[in-house]
Amino acid sequence: MAVVNQPGAYQPSEFQTSVFDCCDDIGTCCYGYWCYCCLGCSIASDMNECCLCGLGMPIRSVYRTKYNIKGSMCKDYLVSAFCPLCSTCQLKRDIDRRKQQGIF
């Protein structure tokens, strides 16, 4: 019999909020709007990365891979390039929700 799933494997998931769900967390949205670089440092700190790594496609891809979130590097690039504030806020909202759920 062939093994089709690895033991302990889990199904791919989605981000817990949409890229454009900024109104779900006004505090994070304002934080990103008024101090975008600080929000990036906060994300990097949450993920134990260098502060310079908290913005853009690379950190989004690392996070997505770590939590088995559906997507691709191409999509990460496009979202980060064309909606940088929204994609960064989405990432921070997802981190905060996973912390609340105890799965971060």
Tens digits of residue pLDDT in 5-57: 555 556 789 999 999 998 889 999 999 999 999 999 999 999 999 988 899 99
Helix, strand or coil, per DSSP, at residue 13 = strand
* Predicted model pTM: 0.87
| Domain enclosing residue 78, as ranges | 24-101
Residue 33, number of CB atoms within 10 A of its CB: 12
> H or E stretch including 19?
none
Domain count, the chain: 1
Measured between alpha carbons, how far is 56 from 40 in angstroms, rounded to an integer? 9
Q: Give domain status of residue 81, yes or no.
A: yes
Q: Give domain status of residue 13, yes or no.
A: no
Q: Give domain status of residue 16, yes or no.
A: no
Q: Give domain status of residue 10, yes or no.
A: no
Q: Give domain status of residue 9, yes or no.
A: no
Q: Give domain status of residue 37, yes or no.
A: yes
Q: Give domain status of residue 36, yes or no.
A: yes
Q: Give domain status of residue 86, yes or no.
A: yes
Measured between alpha carbons, how far is 31 from 14 in angstroms, rounded to an integer? 24
User: If you search the block for the tokens 């089709």, which residue do you land on?
Assistant: 4
